[in-house]
Chains A and B, each alone.
Chain A
Amino acid sequence: MNQLNISIGNEIKRIRQERNWTQAELCQGICSQAEISKIENGRNSPTVDLLQQLAERLHTPVSSFFINENKKTNFRMIDQEIIQLTRLNRYSEIFLQIDQYLITETDKEISILLRYHKLIIEEKTNIIDYRTCISQLLNITAEEKLIEESFLLYLRIQMSIAILYTNYGEYRHADSIYSMLFKIDYHTVEYKKMKLKILYNYIRNLIKQKDFSAILKETETAINESNHLDDLSYLGHFYYQRGYALEQLNSSLELIQEVYTLAYGIFLATENTSFATILEDHLSDVMYFSLKSI
């Protein structure tokens, strides 16, 4: 059975029940009750026309049938759990947890997510070297046709390969991955936010290569794009990266102060204490203010 048909069926059923309707009430004049029952169970793939009629009857946009909330939540939960454990360096626990999930998990996307996390941590704990890790990650992106099946996960794995290259001094290799990623179109807000994350790591790679004028150009784009999307995730970092490039290029003190101060203001506002503290401790002479001195 096709996962999409199942999730569409589930959504139709969920919305119908939310409205306290029977199957007969929903399908009257549209299709037979046997058919609606098959659709709700994911055993039939509905046509576009039929979906439209059901949506109109339920007074909901057709697109609402495609939002599979349960799966999204589950994916996010597992992802967050592993990220959290990684931050705490509880690696043996992560391996146990991942293997446990892999045995029971039926969703393809979540399985790939788990395999990806496992490879990253195996590299981190020196079970495998970074080259092996990269080639295995590349296998995942290629063999599963990941770019078509799960675009966000594809981007994330490609980015993690580029980050590994950066960490091991292979900046050119990293660059070629980034330039490939920047050729792709990012159609939705979610994708565009992912692009900001890629940009952040790309700029880190530029810093390693001391290409400061490129950093000025890229941070400007990244800041404008963050503002356009009203997205705070990397804005402070982009100002920080820009401040660093300005410093290295011997720009005017005024400009450097302005940019570092903005980075600091954003870190304070977003309660990113660790970065705010770094700025207070190391850069207070090139900032307009610091809360530490009050």
Chain B
Amino acid sequence: MMKSLPHMIGNEIKRIRKEKKMTQKELCDGICSQAEISKIENGRNSPTIDLLQQIAKRLRVPLSLLFRDQLESDTFRETDNHLSSLFREKKYQEMKQELSQNDATHHNEILLLKAYFSILLEVKTDKIDYRTASTLLSRLTDREDIWYESPKMYIRIKMAISNLYAENEQYHLAEKVYEELEQLTYDTEELKKQLIKIYYNHSQLLTYEKKYEAGLKITEKGLSYSLSLNDASFVAHFYYQRGYFYEVMMTDDSSPIQRDYTIAYALFRAFHLHTYEEIVLKGKERFLLFTF
């Protein structure tokens, strides 16, 4: 099913070595023979972990980087971008054709991605109702160990389920999905970033339901979590959202509203996110302490 691991590692070693403009000889000097490194790069030898560690050190990359399959993660991203844009542009017919094509991939994550989009497509084109769709999606995540194998897909499918509930005014169920997601353990950098996104979407849902107190709480969680990680991805959005909560909860003092919208406005500018900067300017100019 999968391309052999030694082959994949060999490709990675070769790619990084060439990027560094090193010769095979320079790479293997004092570690192994040039014949051996050549075999490893071609995937004809399955190296021991000890040897790989020495090669990784010489290349100045963490050992785990050699195990990351560049090719497969690129294919995943391409497939994802392609299907996402078809879905966004409502090109359902084309999407259906793409999804029915049986291509060579047996990569679990890509298969999962396709299964996920197939369900979304069917519910969008009214082939199935949202209850069936959410059951089918749940079934995807119920598969054993998917949380370990592909936590990003797991989270994405869960959020899609929550969206289906929300679109059909089952807010209680929609919220429950987020509450459950927030209970999981997020131990890698990549997963921690996912948790920030979960907080953001959760607080948006609560905004939509006009549950401002609860939304404010989640927003503040997301904000302080972002700051503890020095992560910029949603920090401006959180300030905007908090400004909005203060605004609609009609506090007597308008200075916190002004403060948060102004910070969000400056942050969007600092991050070069001009569309968002414009949105704040157009919608909230009366609160801004200055404009550019």
Interface-centre pick from A232, A266, A289 (highest chain B CB count, 10 A) = A232
Among B54-62, B115-123, B134-142, B161-169, which stretch is in contact with chain A? Answer: B54-62
Q: Which residues on the B side are within 8 Å of A266 (C-beta)? A: 266-267, 270
Contact of A59 among B47, B148, B292 (CB under 8 A): B148
Q: Is the interface of B mostly helix, strand, loop or mixed?
A: helix
Let me know if A4 and B49 touch, CB within 8 A: yes
Q: Is the CB of B49 within 8 A of A46?
A: yes
Which bucket holds chain A's interface residue count? 35 or more
Are A227 and B272 in contact, with the CB atoms below 8 A? yes
Task: Pick from A101-109, A173-181, A268-276 the stretch touching chain B.
Answer: A268-276
The answer, yes or no, to whether A23 is at the interface (CB within 8 Å) is no
1/0 per residue, CB under 8 A from B, across A186-212: the answer is 011110000000000000000000000
The smallest C-beta distance from B277 to any residue of chain A, in angstroms, reads: 11
B67 and A66 contact, CB distance less than 8 A: yes
Please give the distance in Å from A173's CB to the nearest CB on chain B: 24
B239 interface residue (CB < 8 Å to A) = yes
Contacts of B193 in A (CB 8 A): 230
Q: Is A147 an interface residue (CB 8 A)?
A: yes
Contact assessment for B239 and A148 in the assembled complex, using a CB-CB cutoff below 8 Å: no
User: A294 contacts which chain B residues (CB < 8 A)?
Assistant: 255, 258, 289
A62 contacts B232, C-beta separation under 8 Å: no
Report if A151 contacts B (CB, 8 A). Answer: yes
The smallest C-beta distance from A148 to any residue of chain B, in angstroms, reads 4
- A169 interface residue per 8 A CB criterion: no
Identify which of A48, A230, A288 contacts B46 (C-beta below 8 A): A48
Interface readout for B178-219 with A: 1 if CB under 8 Å, 0 if not?
000000000111000100000000000000000000000000
Q: Are B144 and A187 in contact (CB-based, < 8 A)?
A: no
Q: How far is the CB of B102 from chain A (nearest CB, A)?
A: 23
The verdict on B263 contacting chain A, using a C-beta distance below 8 Å, is yes
Digitize A268-294: 1 where CB-to-B-CB distance is under 8 Å, 0 elsewhere.
111100000000000000001101001
Closest chain B residue to A154, Cβ basis:
B60
- State whether B290 touches A288 (Cβ < 8 A): yes
Interface residues of B in 131-178 (CB under 8 A from A): 144-145, 148-149
Does A262 touch B at the CB level, under 8 Å?
yes
> Could you tell me the distance between the alpha carbons of A2 and B52 in the complex, rounded to whole angstroms?
13
Out of B60, B68, B233, B271, which one reaches A63, CB within 8 Å?
Answer: B68
Contacts of A147 in B (CB 8 A): 60
B124 at the interface (CB under 8 A from A): no
Contact B239 A63 (CB under 8 A): no
| Interface bin, chain B | 35 or more
Residue among B4, B5, B265, B270 with max Cβ neighbours from chain A (10 Å): B270
Q: Are B232 and A227 in contact (CB under 8 A)?
A: yes
| Nearest Cβ on chain A to B60's Cβ, whole angstroms | 5
Set of chain A residues within 8 Å of B74, measured between Cβ atoms: none
CB neighbours (8 Å) of B289 from chain A are: 288-289, 291, 294
A49 partner residues in chain B, CB cutoff 8 A: 5-6, 46
Whether B148 pairs with A48 at a CB distance below 8 angstroms is no
B188 lies within 8 A of A289 (CB): no
Q: Is A47 an interface residue (CB 8 A)?
A: yes
Contact B61 A187 (CB under 8 A): yes
Tell me if B129 is interfacial: C-beta within 8 Å of chain A. Answer: no
A265-B270, A269-B263, A289-B262 known; A188-B61 Cβ under 8 A: yes
The docked-state distance in angstroms from the alpha carbon of A264 to that of B269 is 12
Question: Which of A184, A189, A269 has the most CB atoms of chain B within a 10 A radius of its CB?
Answer: A269
What residue of chain B has the Cβ atom nearest to residue A187's Cβ?
A: B61
A235: B residues at CB distance < 8 A: 232, 270
Residues of A within 8 A of B233 (CB): 230
Q: Is the CB of B231 within 8 A of A48?
A: no
- Which of A5, A258, A269 touches B49 (beta carbons < 8 Å)? A5
Whether the pair B57, A148 counts as a contact (CB closer than 8 A) is yes
* B245-283 interface code vs A (CB 8 A; 1 in, 0 out): 000000000010011001101110111100000000000
Would you give the shortest CB distance from A242 to chain B, in whole angstroms? Answer: 11
Across the interface, do B67 and A269 meet the contact criterion of CB distance under 8 Å? no
Complex Cα–Cα for A235 and B226 (A): 14
B122 to chain A, nearest CB (A): 27
Report if A45 contacts B (CB, 8 A). Answer: yes
A selection of 7 A-B contacts at a CB cut-off of 8 Å is A63-B67, A187-B60, A266-B267, A268-B263, A269-B267, A291-B259, A291-B289
Q: Residues of A with Cβ closer than 8 Å to B?
A: 2, 4-5, 8, 15, 19, 45-49, 51-52, 58-64, 66-67, 69, 147-149, 151, 184-185, 187-190, 223-224, 226-227, 230-233, 235, 239, 258, 261-262, 264-266, 268-271, 288-289, 291, 294
Additional 18 contacts, C-beta under 8 A, given A61-B149, A147-B60: A4-B53, A5-B50, A45-B48, A45-B49, A48-B5, A63-B64, A67-B188, A148-B57, A187-B16, A189-B189, A230-B231, A235-B232, A262-B269, A264-B266, A265-B262, A268-B259, A289-B262, A289-B289
